[in-house]
Structure 1
Amino acid sequence: METNLNNQISEEWTVSEDAIGQRIDQYLSHKFPEQSRATIQQWIKQGYVKIDGNDTKSKFLLKGFEKIHVELVLQDRTEHLPQEMPLDICYEDEHLLILNKPVGLVVHPGSGNPDNTLLNGLLAYSSEQKKLVRAGIVHRLDKDTSGLMVVAKDGETQQRLIDLLKEHDIKREYVAIVRGQLSHTGHVDQPIGRHPTQRVRMAVHHKGKPAITHYQPLRVFKHFSLMKLNLETGRTHQIRVHMHHLGHPLVGDPLYGNPNRIAADVVSELKDLVRAFPRQALHARQLEFIHPITQQPISIKIGLPEDMEQLLEDIEYYDDLDTFDDQMDVEYVE
């Protein structure tokens, strides 16, 4: 493929015999793996793809030995502006990167957040991200959730990461501090959909999409629990909704647990500290998957952010149980 500095593609070749019977859009998707099938179909629709000198349609079946010519200038996939910002990159190779998103950083521009998002930072980090849908972002974290995210650096990797997520082949482990004692391992298998009356919220709803969250206690106190959570699905606010459904909302969660509603017998000093915690106490601490290109295992794990570490220390100081069952399947967080 010939691509100049203006991102112009100009290529001509003859279809081989082994492509007989393939749709032209499918065939070109293999020829240009960095482009999505939808993009290829747009090329065909707009006349950038010629077969034996003629326009074609995406459903055209190859008969073999046709002459194909592709001529176009690649357009950036985003109109958002690059904005310099520090990125805490934990892993990077030529295909993808894994970063630690800080609290308060919005992932993608939207209503009320037109810029200064992670997407803008990725565009400034590398001009190649402009060629990708959502600058290579394949999943999100809420603004006030910290932790690990994987970002693609080319189109083929982005599509394969999306496929891994759909097949639940990316292990995503979170740590949360929740209200109440939750001392057993279990899971929540409840569908999640938009709240019927409060549109900014999600809720367990019989018409929602399937959602499964696994949970395990790491440390149990008198009024709070430190939990490890693993997602099988990736619904909006999934952990927050499911833990609220269990009756153990996240500390500091303004949508799914009234931050001021704390057990009466919690000591006043701890009440003040918990009520002052400014966000949901949720952190994405581990990503584990098979690299979609190199097929090498990737496992990245990071510790808690400073605010959650401090909150945990405060809870341990003021709220630790007088008697602790050492036989419980509970460990102290790393």
Structure 2
Amino acid sequence: MDKFTYVVKKEDEQYQIKDILRHNFTFSSRLRKKLKQNNSIFLNGAETVGWATPKEGDIISVRLPEEMSNFEPEDIPVYPLYEDDDLLIINKQPGYVVHPTRGQPNHTMANAIMKYMLDTGQNFKIRFVNRLDRDTSGVLVIAKNSYSQEELTKQMKRNTTRKLYTALLCGLVEGDEGTVDLPIGRPDMNRVERGILAEESGGYASVTHYRVIHRFPAELVRLDSSLTVENGFVEGQNEPFTEDEASELLRRGLIYKTDGYTLCELILETGRTHQIRVHMGALGHFVLGDTLYGGVLCKKSTDGLYVPLAKRQLLHAKKLCFEHPVTKEYMEVEAPLASDFEIL
């Protein structure tokens, strides 16, 4: 199928086809090179070369090269929110890494989408436009061709997209709205954690706007992120603990009493790794369930045990607003909350 077509005008006759493509389409130099290598440029339906000079009324068409991914298909649920010839947008569920890595070669969303392609009779190269952490749910965009990926990436770099998140935060946030404008970086390159880091020390400008939706007062305790096996807690397991253990941890300053949690909507101007988790933590309101940065809240149950309120960080990519890379239509795609937000 011809993805792009152009009817040559009288004033175009002085130009070669490669110049006409450069003037009328936003193809990157990398994509133009790929089109040339794959003989993907046509003049009046026949293969042509970039230095050919067309006449008025001629039709130049471009077919994007077909490319494929070779991940192992896995039967992992995929929940489409929007799909056409250029994009697949899904509601990612928590607990899945987006793309295979050396430490996580399988059981990723890439494996899930390979199975989805088999089930729907499709075949395209998987190109993730945005990335979500393993335990973050919500809108995940996959481009089906390199042009769509490049165009959406440009929009994100220009900050012309709008990214809205929903999060439950530890504690009762003061004030109904605010902005965090603090640079984020990686203080220790041997660790995954990010933190507030001055730009002269390698941090990147980062801006997050937040708005309080609802506050939930409650008598809770928050676990410090430094809790480990050695000092009385198995990090990341979120196991219940007794009142006696709670008293000891309170005495040692390893857990803190808090007055509830807050549901917030957040808008990102930038898209740094762990941006919301770091910025909200800088305010003292860690994302609920975030074991990495210190957002584990526990509530005393009827049997006297302190039980974590969440088994993962309750952060959700709620909505993405952008311009469709091919049709140029304004798009708003929204993902319903994952079921574990039922704590609300």
Q: Please say whether Structure 1 and Structure 2 have the same fold, judged by a TM-score greater than 0.5.
A: yes
**Structure 1 segments (4+ residues) deviating >4 Å:** 19-31, 46-49, 62-65, 127-131
The aligned residue for residue 108 of structure 1 is: 99
Letter in 2 for 1:191: P
2:166 maps to 1:175: yes
Q: Shift in Å at residue 249 of structure 1?
A: 0.8
2:114 maps to 1:80: no
2:301 maps to 1:253: no
Structure richer in helix, relative to its length? 1
Q: Shift in Å at residue 242 of structure 1?
A: 0.8
The answer to which structure, 1 or 2, has the higher relative contact order (CA under 8 A, 6+ apart) is 2
Deviates more, 1:75-84 or 1:136-145: 75-84
The aligned residue for residue 268 of structure 1 is: 300
CA distances 1:206-251 after superposition (whole Å, capped 9, x unpaired): 3212211111111123321111111111111111111111111111
Q: Residue 212 of structure 1: which of 207, 211, 217 is its match?
A: 207
Alignment RMSD: 4.1
Cα distance in 2 between the residues matched to 1:179 and 1:115: 33
CA distances 1:259-280 after superposition (whole Å, capped 9, x unpaired): 2xx5xxx862398343x52211
Deviates more, 1:205-214 or 1:154-163: 154-163
Letter in 1 for 2:207: I
CA distances 1:282-333 after superposition (whole Å, capped 9, x unpaired): 11112222323333332233332221222x2xxxxxxxxxxxxxxxxxxxxx
TM-score with structure 1 length normalisation? 0.69
Q: Is the 8 A contact 2:31 2:147 kept in 1?
A: no
Q: Is the 8 A contact 2:319 2:332 kept in 1?
A: yes
Q: Residue 280 of structure 1: which of 313, 322, 325 is its match?
A: 313
Q: Shift in Å at residue 121 of structure 1?
A: 2.3
Q: Shift in Å at residue 26 of structure 1?
A: 8.9
Structure richer in strand, relative to its length? 2
Task: Mark the runs of 5 or more structure 2 residues left unpaired by the alignment.
Answer: 3-7, 41-48, 55-63, 218-258
Given the superposition, is the C-alpha separation of residues 229 and 186 from structure 1 closer, same or farther in structure 2, using an over 3 Å criterion?
same
Cα distance in 2 between the residues matched to 1:253 and 1:129: 37
Task: Mark the runs of 5 or more structure 1 residues left unpaired by the alignment.
Answer: 3-13, 50-55, 66-72, 313-334
The aligned residue for residue 328 of structure 2 is: 295
- 1:1-334 matches, within 5 Å, as 18=12, 27=21, 37-41=29-33, 76=67, 78-126=69-117, 131-132=124-125, 135-184=126-175, 185-196=177-188, 199-205=191-197, 206=199, 207-220=202-215, 221=217, 222-257=259-294, 259=296, 268-269=300-301, 272-274=306-308, 277-310=310-343, 312=344
Q: Is the 8 A contact 2:74 2:111 kept in 1?
A: yes
Q: Shift in Å at residue 90 of structure 1?
A: 1.6
Letter in 2 for 1:203: G
Cα distance in 1 between the residues matched to 2:117 and 2:19: 29
Q: Is the 8 A contact 2:79 2:92 kept in 1?
A: yes
Q: Is the 8 A contact 2:16 2:53 kept in 1?
A: no
